[in-house]
Structure 1
Amino acid sequence: MGQPPGSRWNHNIHFHPLVMNAIRPGAASALDVGTGDGELAGDLRSSLSDVTAVDVDADVLARAAANHRGIHWIHGDFMTYDFGRTFDIVAAVATIHHLPSLPDALQRLADLTSPGGVVVIIGLARPTTPRDRLLGLAGVAQHQWLSRTRNFWQHSAPTVWPPPHTYSEVRECAARVLPGVRWQQFALWRYALTWTKPHLSGADAR
């Protein structure tokens, strides 16, 4: 995982391959939630013809639109914006810790996903356990190495630190809201949630 040496790199871009690898065969559409500078939207557009990106920050969205083509840019709050549709893959990288309600954010991401589609969340959380702290220490070493050997780039989108939720809180909430979700925890102070939305049953489809 991660970008090849020489390309633009930061902690969020490092995990873009995890999102890209979650794209299922036959998928055509994607929603990038909290797109920021649009780097993930650009990656998604390289594989999918129908990419929408949404952000509440008009200035950062304008910069993203200037650098990436073929994407439908939306200035708005994904929690309330009426997209009028669902998407085959819904991705949120370093976004949901900006929102006031974690359960509501997870449910909204699920609602915006088409049956059989995938939600991928790369998030930040606070360490509370010995394992969390060991991964944090590993993250310090990993950051020092990668920032020296890659083309480190500081994004322009707003940041929130410290994150409002612990790793344990995020994992427990995700298990409730997204049954069957896959949890992964990494160094570089990130976790990943990957969830496939069930297809409608015969009774639900009628």
Structure 2
Amino acid sequence: MGLKDGPLWNHNIHFHRVALEAIPNSATSALDVGTGNGMLARDLRERLPDVTAIDVDAPILAAAQRTHAGINWVLADAMTHDFGRTFDVVASVAALHHFEDLESALGRLRELTAPGGVLVIVGLAKATTLGDYARSVPGVVQHHWYSRTRNLWEHTAPTKWPPPHSYTEVRECAARVLPGVRWRQFAMWRYALTWHKPSELLGGSRF
């Protein structure tokens, strides 16, 4: 089936809005972790002048670089790469489940978020509770509707299935690592974490 007219759509692109809506008014920089085909980095670059995108897959990153201009592309592991800076927005879509150590990954993304900035993660997790499975029912309906009515595009970035962590594990780990984090669980097999890093610690010292 050929692509329809209009913007590309898939499950991950559908949730880019979660990251874009969380951008602080004062933000000028963003980091896209696990950028893959670079679609989120592109959307961030339309709103912010300073966007960095990192991934460990060289061919995918090279293809993204040819397609999307004005972005600082980094071929490296986000867990160990020395950026030498922090970012007003740290965003990641469908990448967190590629990290085996969830707590370390969340801690690393927290470190890369600038004081007063925001960390936004849209991820995948395993269903293990009745509530998880119940949410998947409307997700199936939504998937078929959007697949028929939107310009469905299959990304070429590596996938990992099943995810190593359950929704419950992600939610509980995020609550420990990111105090005050906002948790949302969606029908189309995605969840979102949104965390605002305080500008100052008690006593006035900065992060």
TM-score between the two structures when normalised by the length of structure 1: 0.96
Q: How far did 1:134 drift?
A: 1.1
Q: How far did 1:128 drift?
A: 1.0
TM-score between the two structures when normalised by the length of structure 2: 0.95
Structure 2 alignment gaps of length 5 or more: none
Residue identity matched to 1:103:
E
Q: Deviations over 1:139-179 (max 9, x none)?
A: 11110000100000000000011100110000000000000
Whole-Å Cα distance in 2 between the matches of residues 181 and 25 of structure 1? 19
User: 2:146 matched to which residue of 1?
Assistant: 146
**Are positions 1:54 and 2:47 aligned together?**
no
User: 2:130 matched to which residue of 1?
Assistant: 130
Q: How far did 1:130 drift?
A: 1.2
Partner SS state of residue 185, structure 2: strand
Q: Is the 8 A contact 2:199 2:206 kept in 1?
A: no
User: 1:204 matched to which residue of 2?
Assistant: 205
Match runs of 1:108-123 below 5 Å: 108-123=108-123
Residue identity matched to 2:25:
P
Q: Deviations over 1:57-98 (max 9, x none)?
A: 000000100110000000000000000000000001000100
User: 1:91 matched to which residue of 2?
Assistant: 91
Of residues 133-142 and 153-162 in structure 1, the stretch that sits farther from structure 2 once superposed is 133-142
Residue identity matched to 1:92:
S
User: 2:65 matched to which residue of 1?
Assistant: 65
User: 2:102 matched to which residue of 1?
Assistant: 102
User: 2:156 matched to which residue of 1?
Assistant: 156
Structure 1 alignment gaps of length 5 or more: none
**Are positions 1:184 and 2:184 aligned together?**
yes
Whole-Å Cα distance in 1 between the matches of residues 7 and 71 of structure 2? 21
Q: How far did 1:194 drift?
A: 0.1
Whole-Å Cα distance in 1 between the matches of residues 206 and 115 of structure 2? 11
RMSD: 1.2
Whole-Å Cα distance in 1 between the matches of residues 100 and 17 of structure 2? 28
Match runs of 1:32-47 below 5 Å: 32-47=32-47
* % identical equivalent positions: 62
**Are positions 1:166 and 2:166 aligned together?**
yes
